[in-house]
Homo-oligomer: A and B are copies of this chain.
Amino acid sequence: MTMKDKKEILALNAFALESADLSTFEDNLAELLRRREQIFGSLSVLFYQRPLHIVSARGCSILAADGTRYLDFYNNVPSVGHCHPRVTKAVCDQIQRLNINTRYLYRILNDYAEKLLSLFPPELSNLVLTCTGSESNDLALRIVRYFTKGEGFIVSSNAYHGNTAAVTEVSPASYRQGSLPRYVRTVPPPDPLYYGSDVGKGFAEAVAAEIQDLQQAGIPFAGLLVDTIFSSDGVYVDPPGFLQAAVDVVHEAGGLWIADEVQPGFGRTGTMWGFERHGVVPDLVTLGKAMGNGFPMAGIVTRPEYLRAFSEHFGYFNTFAGNPVAAAAGLAVLEVIEEEGLVENASWLGTKLRSWIQDLSTHYPVIGGVRGAGLYLGIDIVDPKDGRPDVRRATRIINALCEEKQILIGATGSLGHILKIRPPLCLQSPEAELFAEALEDVCRALL
């Protein structure tokens, strides 16, 4: 894929503010957009061909300024539901009492951290708190590099792990020009298209080949960094356990495996952590997004010896991380997930939704297939004539669902032709049905 292609795909998937004709929007929206461009300039990104002006949200429901109510099938940060009253109450109670940093002791941080760690295998007994998934992955890369004394990392070919300088280097999806540094190697995502029927074996062989190539180039190997559901590659989760062989290869070569759980973590895939699906305990787990249901917080769960090795080299302190308000938010999120049975809900409702879409695909050839686990699904949109990826039709579906059906979804994959379905975990069965019906209507119109 050339950079020109990549830019075209970006333009299709995001609202390109700089080149937009604002006169096609009513005054209010045009004014907001003009102000937005003036303030944020080139780094402004908005969703949909007609961007949404939002005023409030609750559960899976989003209210726009014009009174339209949207069903949210996209946002995985407010994962237990937009503005969940239990989480917002925890934040409000705590922020009025104490908001300080971790160089002081306060009980709620210990309480939260212990509850969080109790959800991990016992060997992952240490926690580092940060503010964002990017900070978590940035620090995880450093910890692995200092522990292994390696430099080379392997990631999937359309990986996205965050936005710092170091993390962008392992995020091919962020590049609009230029190429990855020589110590970063990519392997195709775990898609039978690349690896045939035995994805696990093929993926492990691809990882082994890149390790060998790094070594031949004189670059000591550090580790493998993958999001356990390969979300930006297009959602690849099957067969369960396929990552095991690759992780074995990584360990044999002296490397470590960072499981990026920023997206799959906290119940999204129908298990608490995405790595559970693979039956392998990661060396480091990075967390973010859903962790505070929108309160900015993130972290790393790992083994004490890795932190010890790192701390010989550098001090690490993170001003906002682990503050008592974040701890209160995080604790409330864990309690809500448990008490409302959201992991189970993601599992059974996700399975149901996937089977409905599977059924649709037999009637509507524009749906090339559906993949996923729990409430994270990827739906391939293809040209009905030849079955090839069809980003234009995907874009039409996304915008039609938004404008005609008031349902919000997004796109993923290196070509941008895969619908990304990722509702809050409190989704209910009638809402899932509504989505399936809406998708059918929109696909019918595309026939």
Contact = CB atoms under 8 A, between A and B. Distances in A.
A318 B39 contact: no
A110 B164 contact: no
A142 B294 CA distance: 27
B45 A315 contact: yes
Contacts of A164: 135, 138-139, 164-166
Interface stretch (A51-59, A264-272, A277-285, A369-377): A51-59
Tell me the dominant secondary structure on chain A's binding face.
Answer: mixed
A5 B238 CA distance: 53
Interface in A23-82: 29, 32-33, 35-36, 38-47, 51-57, 62, 75, 77-78, 82
Total copies of the chain: 2
Given A114-B35, A164-B165, A176-B314, A42 B308 contact: yes
Contacts of A386: none
Interface in A163-222: 163-166, 168, 173-178
Given A131-B320, A294-B320, A42 B104 contact: no
Contacts of A42: 126, 304, 307-308, 310-311
B105 A83 contact: no
Interface stretch (A95-103, A246-254, A337-345, A359-367): A95-103
Contacts of A95: 83, 88, 91-92, 294-295
A174 B312 CA distance: 11
B56 A105 contact: no
A252 to B, nearest CB: 27
Nearest to A316: B43
Given A40-B126, A106-B55, A313-B178, A134 B135 contact: yes
Contacts of A35: 110, 114
Contacts of A12: none
Nearest to A314: B174
A84 to B, nearest CB: 10
A133 B319 CA distance: 9
A129 B102 CA distance: 24
A98 B317 contact: no
Contacts of A127: 39-40
A446 interface: no
B110 A39 contact: yes
A385 interface: no
Given A43-B128, A95-B92, A163-B318, A177 B56 contact: no
Nearest to A38: B125
A425 B314 CA distance: 31
6 contacts: A32-B107, A41-B125, A54-B106, A57-B100, A131-B135, A175-B313
Given A47-B104, A294-B325, 14 more contacts: A38-B125, A39-B110, A42-B307, A42-B310, A42-B311, A47-B103, A52-B105, A53-B105, A75-B101, A99-B295, A131-B296, A131-B320, A164-B164, A178-B313
